[in-house]
Amino acid sequence: MTDRKEWNSWKWQFANRITTAEELDRVLHLSPSEKDNISCCLKNFRMAITPYYASLMDPEDPDCPIRRQAVPSILETVRGEFDLDDPLGEVRYNPVPYVVQRYPDRALLLVTLKCSMYCRHCTRRRVVGENEEFIIPQPALDVALDYIRRHTEIRDVLISGGDPFVLPTDRLEHIISSVRAIEHVEIIRIGTRVPVVMPMRIDKELTDMLRKYHPLWVNTHFNHPKELTPEAVRACEALADAGIPLGNQTVLLKGINDSTPVMKELLLKLVKARVRPYYIFQCDLSVGISHFRVPVQTGIDIMHDLIGNISGYAVPKYAVDAPGGGGKVPLNYNYIVSKDDRELTLETYTGRLYKYPVR
C-alpha cells in the first residue's frame, strides 16, 4: 500500500515505473496473448509508465486513450511503407554531438535519453530509452556550448532529450545556466511531458530554480483532455506562477484525439490551465507507429471545424514536420475560393462567401 507522501514524490514515481508485462498485468489484468505481445514489442522499444499515469488508464477498455499512449501494441513491430529511422533528419543536421540545428536561428540541445514515460508514438524512439543512465557528460556539454557560442545567429535554444525534467535539479540548473551565460541566446525553451505523466516533479525546488533564468519557456505535450487532471493542472499553474509561458504541442493520433469534439475539449482545458495551444503535429514517420497516423485531410478538417467555434488564442497551428529535416510546414484549410486582379472571394467559417479587394 503506497502512502500519499510516497505517491506525491516524483523520485518515488520515477523509481517505481512499470517496465515489464508482468508489472503491467497487476494494473490491467492482461490476457496471456497481450502479455506475449508486449514482451515481443519490448525487444525493440522500451516501456516505462509512471504509477500516476497508469492510474489514469481504464483497465477494462483496451481502447482507452491514456492506455494506448503508454502500453505497447504488437503493431509497433510492423514497419510501415513510409517509416523512417530518423524521420526529422536529426542525424543529418547534427553539427556536433547532442546539438541539432535545422533552422537558421534555433538549436536543439539533447541532454538525456531518459523519460519518465516512453510514449508509444515517440518521434525519437530510435534512441530515447536506449540508455537510462545517460546525461550529457561535461566534455560533450562543453563542445555543444562552444558550438552555440561560436554561432551567434542562434538566439533560441530548445533543451530536450529524452525529458530534461527527469534530471536532478542541480544538474538541470547547470545546463540551463551554462546556456543562459551565452550572450546572444535570447530565449531558452524546455520540451517536457513531465506535467502530463509525472506532475509531482513540478515542485517548488524546480520552479524556484527555473525562475532565475528568464526569459524561459516550457513546451508541454498533452494529447487528450483526460490528461488534464487536477494534478496536471496544478503543475502547469505552478510553472505559470513562476512567470514561465507555457505552450502545448499535441500529436494527432488515430483513435485518441482525431475528432473535433475531443480536440476542442483538449484545447479549451489547456487555455483554462494557462497553457497556450502551440502546435498540432501530424504524426511523424518513425518506425513502428504507422497505426497512429491519420490522413492529413483529417487534421485539416479538424482545424476548419475549430476556426470560429473557439477563441483564436485557443487554436494551434497544424503542421507536418517535413521528412528528412525540412522543418515544420503549416497545413491550413484554403479560405480563398477564387482570386482575380481586382478581388478575392473568401469563405468564412460559416461557409458564407465575401468579396475583398486585393489592394
Catalytic residue numbers read 102-103, 106, 115, 119, 122, 124, 284, 321, 328
How far apart, in whole angstroms, are the C-alpha atoms of residue 267 and residue 246? 13
Give the dihedral of Cα atoms 281, 300, 334, 352; nearest 10 deg.
-140
Q: Are 154 and 100 in contact (CB under 8 A)?
A: no
Grid coordinates in use for 43?
525487444
At 325, list the grid cell: 529535416
Distance CA 270, CA 256 (A): 17
Distance CA(193)–CA(166), nearest Å, equals: 10
The C-alpha cell that represents 67 in the structure block: 492506455
Cα torsion 59, 223, 171, 151: sign: positive
SS3 of residue 138 by DSSP: helix
Q: How far apart are CA 289 and CA 118, in angstroms?
A: 13
Measure the CA–CA gap between 69 and 253, rounded to whole angstroms.
Answer: 9
Long-range contacts of 4-11 (CB under 8 A, 24+ apart): 7/51, 7/52, 7/200, 8/200, 9/200, 10/198, 10/200, 10/201, 10/203
d(CA 98, CA 347): 46
Interatomic CA distance for residues 201 and 238, integer angstroms: 11
Q: Please provide residue 91's backbone torsions phi and psi, each rounded to the nearest 5 degrees.
A: -70, -40
Q: In the sheet where 327-330 sits, what is the strand order?
A: 99-103, 106-110, 156-160, 187-191, 216-220, 246-252, 276-282, 317-322, 327-330
Report d(CA 341, CA 320) in Å as an integer: 32
